[in-house]
Amino acid sequence: MNKKFIYILSLLIFIGIFLVSCIRKDIPEKDIEKGSSNTFVDEQYKPYPVETKTIDGVDYVLSRSNPGKYGGTLVTSTIGEGPKTFNSWNSMDATSSQAADIMFDGLVSTDAYTGEVIPRLAKTIKVLPDNKTYIFELRKGLKWSDGKEITADDVVFTWDKIVFGGYGNTSTRDAMYIDGKLPTIEKVDKYTVKFTTPKPFSPFLRQVSVPIAPKHVLEPVVQKGKRAFASYWSSNINPDELVTSGAFKLKEYVPAQRIVYERNPNYYVIDEKGQKLPYLDKYIILIVGDLNNELLKFKAKELDTVGLRGTNVALFKEQEKFSDYKVYNLGPDTGTMYFAFNLNDRKNEKGKYYVNPIKQKWFSDLNFRKAVDYALDRENMVFNIASGVAQPLFTPEPLSSIYLNEKIAKGHSQDLEKAKELLAQSGFYWKNKKLYDKDGNKVEFDLFTNAGNTERESIGVMVKQDLEELGMTVNFKPIEFNSLVNKLVNTNDFDSVIMGFTGSPLEPYGGKNVWYSNGTLHVFNMRKTPQENNKLLWWEKKLNGIFDKASLELDFDKRKALYEDYQKLVYEQKPLIYLYSPIRISAIRNKFGNIHPTELGGVLHNLEEIYIK
């Protein structure tokens, strides 16, 4: 190790430690937890509870921030090619969900300040003593964007016909099965619905945050069948066709360029002065090609907020006092970044193997996966890609999770000798510094990630380099995001991938669609038919059992023990190999008021309350 490298490494470590310590001072987390005055902004807020104010028969939500003023636009961004659909119930990817969900509200949501489940379209929530019966009273007088009233009929239609009926993305429905049975829902009166679960079901309240659909618009579409529903409100939509309940509604969509929203005048949040929110006239999401372009647009003042990564954090923090923005530390990423092999050993409907059988033997070999895990230099990734503003990750739960398995989270350092020992145990050998399996096949495979995400592209380069130290030949191929999603979820034709999952530090059960053997995001061993789900790996079967037990357990400590077991099992079997967890840093222009960043919600969680000063 030469002196120049040691100097650079020492400098990066210093920058990382300095940034983590100095940026964190900008967010007094204890104040947030107590709900006191938020000292990093001038305004004050009330974290909990949600208050209702009834005016002329309408049950409004009372804003928890200081009154603002109307007008102006806030511009943010997304990378990639843009949404595939504006149908919130059919979305299969994060970009589409972001674009659609902003226009619709559910019965409940998660409070970005406290993590509590709070009412949204619902006015009150009652859980009966049997812990199986949930009664939701809707707010009276709420309207869809076309002026029609929002009632219990919309709630029953959404859950009974769309979600439980298996329309669109079935992950929500699949996560609701309890001993093979779904909850039931019934209309009590015009403004009241009752859910009944087969057994006490601990994740239930968080699961009912699904957006409510307008029955008068979507019922005729549902009657035409699932294919018609899946294509409805697609990316080529006429904005006038959308009927929504959220703070903003679609005004314009220009593919690969921008999504423009305008305020919904029928929204049901008001401030202390009785002004209807949102304050902003428009909310715009620019579709940028990659992270570098996103940063350039922020510097050019085309964007009002941006997420910062790597060396950019130091630069922006240094320039903050001379600029028109403020930098916020939002804590460890609530999502997880991973590397995974395709473990699928089956044939598709055309009789062709999803994965070349020779490669599949490597990928299904636990020693092979462990060797890859030990070969990855996570510390190097943290310092060279994230500039020290991150931590190595070894667990499927985010580092901020209340269910985190602390022992697993400690992980291990890179150990190439250990990796080589594991490979040798399975009969692999080296010839001219290249790795071969015991049958003489050269170890070579493709590695995909989404093009434009320069962080993942950088990770891909480092993973390729690390695995070449073991003699593996890795063909790194960044491709367009929607094409990658199609490979993972639909065709399942990939060797390995670097991707990420969104997550929650409050409830691991939301990841059931990843870990359950028939889950829609069980990408490392995707099953397309019920017959394929009959043949499970022993640890897949065990994961199914853990998630089933956890969903029925109401005691927190017992649930935590179960979720620690699942993390341990994933760590041992390595269906997904985790990489690192960035510390989320965001910058936003100083011209906006009611900016109350939180670790759970980011900087725009209260978008309807934000205004231009």
Contacts of 188 (CB under 8 A, 6+ apart): 135, 152, 194
Distance CA 279, CA 285 (A): 17
Is the pLDDT at 92 greater than 60, yes or no? yes
> Higher-confidence residue: 350 or 123?
123
Q: Which two tokens stand for residue 549?
A: 């037990």
CATH of domain 6-71+233-332+584-612: 3.40.190.10
- Classified as helix, coil or strand, 146 is coil
Question: For 143, phi and psi rounded to 5 degrees?
Answer: -130, 150
Q: Tens digit of pLDDT for each residue in 369-407?
A: 999 999 999 999 999 998 888 999 999 999 989 999 999
Question: For 563, phi and psi rounded to 5 degrees?
Answer: -70, -30
Which residues in 134-149 are b (16+ Cβ under 10 Å) and which e? bbbbbbebbbbbeeee
pLDDT category at 48 given cuts 50, 70, 90 is low
Q: Which helix (H) or strand (E) holds 561?
A: helix 556-573
Distance CA 346, CA 357 (A): 9
What's the residue count for the chain? 613
pTM (2 decimals)?
0.80
Distance CA 481, CA 496 (A): 15
Averaged pLDDT, 12-27: 35
**CB contact at 8 A, 282 and 262:** yes
Q: Which amino acid is at 169?
A: N
CA–CA distance from 320 to each of 31, 372, 610 (Å)? Answer: 23, 40, 21
CATH of domain 89-224: 3.90.76.10
Is the pLDDT at 64 greater than 50, yes or no? yes
Distance CA 196, CA 130 (A): 10
pLDDT category at 532 given cuts 50, 70, 90 is confident
Distance CA 373, CA 357 (A): 22
Q: Tens digit of pLDDT for each residue in 120-133?
A: 999 999 999 999 99
Q: Tens digit of pLDDT for each residue in 595-610?
A: 999 988 999 999 999 9
- Assigned CATH class of 336-582: alpha beta
- Measured from the Cβ of residue 255, the count of other Cβ atoms closer than 10 Å reads 12
**CB contact at 8 A, 74 and 607:** yes
Distance CA 165, CA 90 (A): 13
Domain ranges in the chain? Answer: 6-71+233-332+584-612, 89-224, 336-582
Say what the alpha-carbon torsion angle 501, 502, 507, 509 is, to the nearest 10 degrees. -40
Distance CA 261, CA 242 (A): 12
Averaged pLDDT, 61-89: 94
DSSP type of residue 233: T
Helices (H), 300-453: 311-319, 357-363, 366-375, 378-384, 406-410, 416-425
pLDDT category at 20 given cuts 50, 70, 90 is very low
Q: Which two tokens stand for residue 180?
A: 């093979």
Averaged pLDDT, 324-335: 92
pLDDT, position 33: 26
Contacts of 501 (CB under 8 A, 6+ apart): 335, 336, 338, 511, 514, 521
Contacts of 460 (CB under 8 A, 6+ apart): 447, 449, 476, 478, 498
351 Cα distance to chain centroid:
34
Strands across the sheet containing 444-450: 473-479, 444-450, 496-501, 336-341, 577-578
Helices (H), 93-186: 94-101, 152-156, 171-174
Averaged pLDDT, 253-275: 96
